[in-house]
A and B are shown apart, each in its own frame.
Chain A
Amino acid sequence: DAGVIQSPRHEVTEMGQEVTLRCKLISGHNSLFWYRQTMMRGLELLIYFNNNVPIDDSGMPEDRFSAKMPNASFSTLKIQPSEPRDSAVYFCASSLGTGVQSPLHFGNGTRLTVT
C-alpha cells in the first residue's frame, strides 16, 4: 500500500498562472477530500467526493478553484488564475467510507507558493 500520493511536492508559480495539483487515492478507497493548511486557519476542507461525485464543495474559496475526479483513483485540484493568497499547503486525503471508523489517510501535501 503506497498510501495517498500527491504531486508535485512543491509548486512555485507567478500570480495569474494556472496551477494543477494531483492526487492518487489508496486503492479501494471511495471517499476523497481536498484540504488546505494555512498558519491562520489550520486545515480547511475544500471539497469532498464520494464515489467520484462531488458531495460538498462549500469550502472551495471561489470560482478560481475547481476539482475533478476523472476516475475512482485520481483527482485534480486546479486554481486558475492563481493569486498570492492561495499560497498554502494543499492536502489530499482518502478513506474507505466516512465516519470515525474510517480515519482519513493524508498524502504528504503540495506546498504552493504564488509570487
Chain B
Amino acid sequence: DQQVKQNSPSLSVQEGRISILNCDYTNSMFDYFLWYKKYPAEGPTFLISISSIKDKNEDGRFTVFLNKSAKHLSLHIVPSQPGDSAVYFCAGLGSNDYKLSFGAGTTVTVRA
C-alpha cells in the first residue's frame, strides 16, 4: 500500500532551467514531508522538509510547495545544475514520529 507516490520515474532538464518534481500522498495524518537525494552507489541524504501546517519552505535553490487539499507536494530546483542529477525521494512522516513512508523516486538528469 503505497502512501506516497511519485508518478514520474524520470525527468530531464537543461542546466539553468527549473526542475519540478511532483509527489502525491494518501495519508492525511502525515505531519511532515521530506525530500531525500540519492547519488548512484550512495545512500539517500536529507535535502529539505516541510511541515503540514506550511505551504512553502525554501532553502537556497530548493523550494518545497505543499497543497494539503490536493494531497500534493512539489520540489522546485532553480536553477538546475549538473550536480543535481540524482534520484529524489519524497517521504511522509506520520504522527508516530519515526516511520518515513517513501515514494519510489524520480531520477533527475540535468543536461549541460
- Which chain A residues lie closer than 8 Å to B105 at the CB level? 42-43
* A4 nearest CB neighbor, chain B only: B43
In the complex, how many residue pairs between chain A and chain B have their CB atoms under 8 Å apart? 62
Does the CB pair B41–A108 fall under 8 Å? yes
- Which chain B residues lie closer than 8 Å to A100 at the CB level? 31-32, 34, 49, 51, 93
Q: How far is the CB of B85 from chain A (nearest CB, A)?
A: 18
Question: Interface 1/0s, chain B 7-36, versus A by CB < 8 A?
Answer: 000000000000000000000000110100
- Does A34 count as interface, using CB distance less than 8 angstroms? no
How far is it, in angstroms, between the C-alpha of A31 and the C-alpha of B103 when the chains are bound? 22
Interface size class of B (residues with CB under 8 A): 20 to 34
- Does A104 count as interface, using CB distance less than 8 angstroms? yes
Among A33, A41, A55, A99, point to the contact of B93 (Cβ < 8 A).
A99
Q: A42-B2, A42-B89, A104-B44 are in contact. List 5 more A-B contacts (CB 8 A).
A: A35-B102, A42-B104, A103-B49, A106-B43, A109-B41
Interface set, chain A 23-82, CB cutoff 8 A to B? 31, 33, 35, 39-45, 48, 50, 55-56
- Which chain A residues lie closer than 8 Å to B2 at the CB level? 41-42
Interface size class of A (residues with CB under 8 A): 20 to 34
Interface set, chain B 46-84, CB cutoff 8 A to A? 46, 49, 51
- Does A98 count as interface, using CB distance less than 8 angstroms? yes
- Which chain A residues lie closer than 8 Å to B45 at the CB level? 106
- Which chain B residues lie closer than 8 Å to A105 at the CB level? 43
Does the CB pair B49–A108 fall under 8 Å? no
With A103-B34, A103-B46 as contacts: A43 and B98 at CB distance below 8 Å: no
Does the CB pair A45–B43 fall under 8 Å? no
How far is it, in angstroms, between the C-alpha of A44 and the C-alpha of B49 when the chains are bound? 19
Q: How far is the CB of A99 from chain B (nearest CB, A)?
A: 5
